């Protein structure tokens, strides 16, 4: 039972990290990154390959892969995040320089498929279709943990990492950089006429998001001890999108809700239920169907998500006198009364200059 609960917690935390990464790209900067799962996979592979000794030696016997650095935790995890970020720079140069919205999404999903095929078929890279296995359990030797204890321990470590990454992401999102990301999301044309180098900020967003993806992927392989291409079919990206859409685009706290509802309750909870006699795999199919229905319902009835993005308020400058409603007592009359054109006749008058000036 405890193994089951810790596993649920682990995936809840991991998908929270993954959702934060995709959220800064999609929810904050407007990059429809359908290749996101590719960055998760690279983080996973690199963390695995840097955790293991050289290929075909010791616990890596029978496996073919690059790196094999035998790095300790958390350096192997950081390696996964960093390599994933470097891949994001390359992908950004290929996809982001000239393309926007739907065309960009198509190129990104194509790149994800290419990456998948390379990893699946080019065995010397990450052991082809068998993937990497026998990944050492981080720190279990240091604390003398058995396999069951490790699950709880690593779920807790993942929770702490998720908290640190949440604070890191919040700092960025509440900074002028986060504001510039959102300006680009809303209207890249306007942002560039304000002097913002769109490509530079999009790369920055891609790199941050890919780092989160890489760390999430690294945690997955360290928790499960193995990772192969069947774990990152391109469709997996849409699970992370579902977490964001259900939780609330642009709201990190909403992502917690999204991770809980989609990942924990709809994917991993049913995965632990016993099969229906004579209908093996039926629960899994139902789970996928329910996710699709929830996603459509959210987009139809509540596109802003369970916890929508909130307006960011700033403290009034020093010396500001505010009334009970938070309005300045010295501010001029709001323009609602005069700023709205009242009738077509008024527009015509204004344009013909009969009244003004």
Partner 1 sequence: MTYKDLSTTPAGSEGPILRCEGLTKAFGGVNAVNGATFDVPRNKITALIGPNGAGKTTVVNILSGAMKSDSGTVHLGSTDVTNMDRAKIARLGLMRTFQLSRELGGLSVLENLLVAPKVQAGESIFNIFFRPRLVKREERQNIERATEILRTYGLYDLRDNWARELSGGQKKLLEISRGVMASPSVFLLDEPMAGVNPALIERIGGYILDMKAQGVTVLMIEHNLNVVERICDNVIVLAEGKTLATGKLSELRQNKEVVTAYLGEVINASTGH
Helix (H, G, I), strand (E, B) or coil at 195: coil
Helix (H, G, I), strand (E, B) or coil at 222: helix
Residue 227, beta-bridge partner list: 132
Spatial distance between the Cα atoms of 247 and 23, rounded to a whole number of angstroms: 11
Applying CB under 8 A, the span of 59-67, 104-112, 217-225, 319-327 interacting with partner 1 comes to: 319-327
Applying CB under 8 A, the span of 34-42, 61-69, 92-100, 305-313 interacting with partner 1 comes to: 305-313
Of 23 and 287, nearer to partner 1 (C-beta) is 23
Q: Is 164 in the site for partner 1 (CB under 8 A)?
A: no
- Distances in Å between the alpha carbon of 26 and those of 104, 113, 165, 238? 12, 20, 18, 12
Of 142 and 338, nearer to partner 1 (C-beta) is 338
- Distances in Å between the alpha carbon of 336 and those of 323, 329, 340, 342? 19, 17, 7, 11
Of 1 and 339, nearer to partner 1 (C-beta) is 339
By CB under 8 A, how many residues form the interface with partner 1? Answer: 60
Q: Is 354 in the site for partner 1 (CB under 8 A)?
A: yes
Of 143 and 357, nearer to partner 1 (C-beta) is 357
Beta carbon of residue 338, minimum distance to partner 1 (angstroms, whole number): 5
Using alpha carbons only, how large is the chain's radius of gyration in Å?
Answer: 24
Q: Is 148 in the site for partner 1 (CB under 8 A)?
A: no
Spatial distance between the Cα atoms of 164 and 257, rounded to a whole number of angstroms: 18
Query: Which backbone phi and psi does 128 adopt, to 5 degrees?
Result: 55, -140
Q: Is 195 in the site for partner 1 (CB under 8 A)?
A: yes
Of 102 and 355, nearer to partner 1 (C-beta) is 355
Of 146 and 355, nearer to partner 1 (C-beta) is 355
Cβ atoms < 10 Å from Cβ of 6: 21
Binding mask 213-252 for partner 1 (x = CB under 8 A): -------------------------------------x--
Beta carbon of residue 262, minimum distance to partner 1 (angstroms, whole number): 23
Q: Is 64 in the site for partner 1 (CB under 8 A)?
A: no
Spatial distance between the Cα atoms of 24 and 182, rounded to a whole number of angstroms: 9
Q: Is 16:231 a contact under the CB 8 Å cutoff?
A: no
The length of the chain in residues reads: 357
Contact residues for partner 1, defined by CB under 8 A: 171-172, 175-177, 179-180, 182-183, 185-187, 189-198, 201, 204, 208, 250, 309, 311-314, 316-317, 320, 326-328, 330-336, 338-342, 346-347, 349-357
């Amino acid at each position: 039972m405890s193994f089951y609960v810790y596993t649920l917690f682990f995936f809840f935390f991991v998908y929270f990290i993954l959702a934060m990464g995709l959220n800064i790209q999609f929810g904050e900067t407007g990059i429809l990154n359908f290749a996101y799962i590719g960055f998760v996979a690279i983080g996973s592979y690199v963390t695995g390959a840097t955790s293991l000794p050289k290929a075909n030696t010791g616990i890596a016997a029978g496996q073919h892969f690059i790196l094999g650095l035998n790095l300790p935790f958390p350096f192997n995890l950081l390696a996964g995040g960093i390599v994933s970020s470097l891949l994001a720079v390359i992908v950004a140069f290929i996809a982001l320089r000239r393309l926007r919205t739907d065309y960009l999404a198509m190129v990104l999903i194509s790149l994800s498929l290419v990456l998948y095929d390379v990893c699946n078929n080019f065995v010397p890279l990450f052991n082809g279709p068998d993937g990497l296995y026998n990944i050492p359990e981080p720190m279990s030797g240091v604390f003398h943990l058995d396999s069951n204890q490790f699950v709880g321990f690593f779920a807790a470590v993942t929770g702490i990492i998720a908290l640190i990454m949440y604070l890191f992401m919040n700092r960025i999102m509440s900074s002028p950089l986060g504001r510039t990301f959102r300006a680009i999301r809303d209207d890249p044309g306007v942002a560039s006429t304000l002097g913002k180098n769109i490509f530079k900020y999009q790369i920055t967003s891609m790199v941050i998001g890919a780092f989160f993806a890489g760390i999430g992927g690294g945690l997955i392989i360290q928790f499960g001890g193995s990772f192969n291409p069947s774990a990152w079919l391109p469709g997996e990206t849409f699970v992370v999108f579902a977490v964001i859409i259900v939780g609330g685009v642009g709201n990190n706290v909403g992502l917690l809700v999204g991770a809980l509802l989609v990942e924990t309750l709809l994917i991993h909870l049913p995965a632990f239920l016993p099969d229906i006699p004579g209908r093996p795999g039926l629960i899994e199919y139902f789970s996928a169907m329910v996710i699709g229905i929830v996603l459509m319902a959210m987009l139809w009835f509540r596109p802003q998500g369970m916890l929508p993005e909130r307006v960011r308020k700033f403290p009034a400058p020093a010396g500001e006198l505010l009334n009970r409603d938070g309005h300045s007592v010295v501010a001029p009359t709001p323009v609602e009364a005069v700023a709205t054109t009242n009738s077509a006749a008024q527009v015509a008058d204004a344009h013909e200059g009969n009244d003004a000036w």
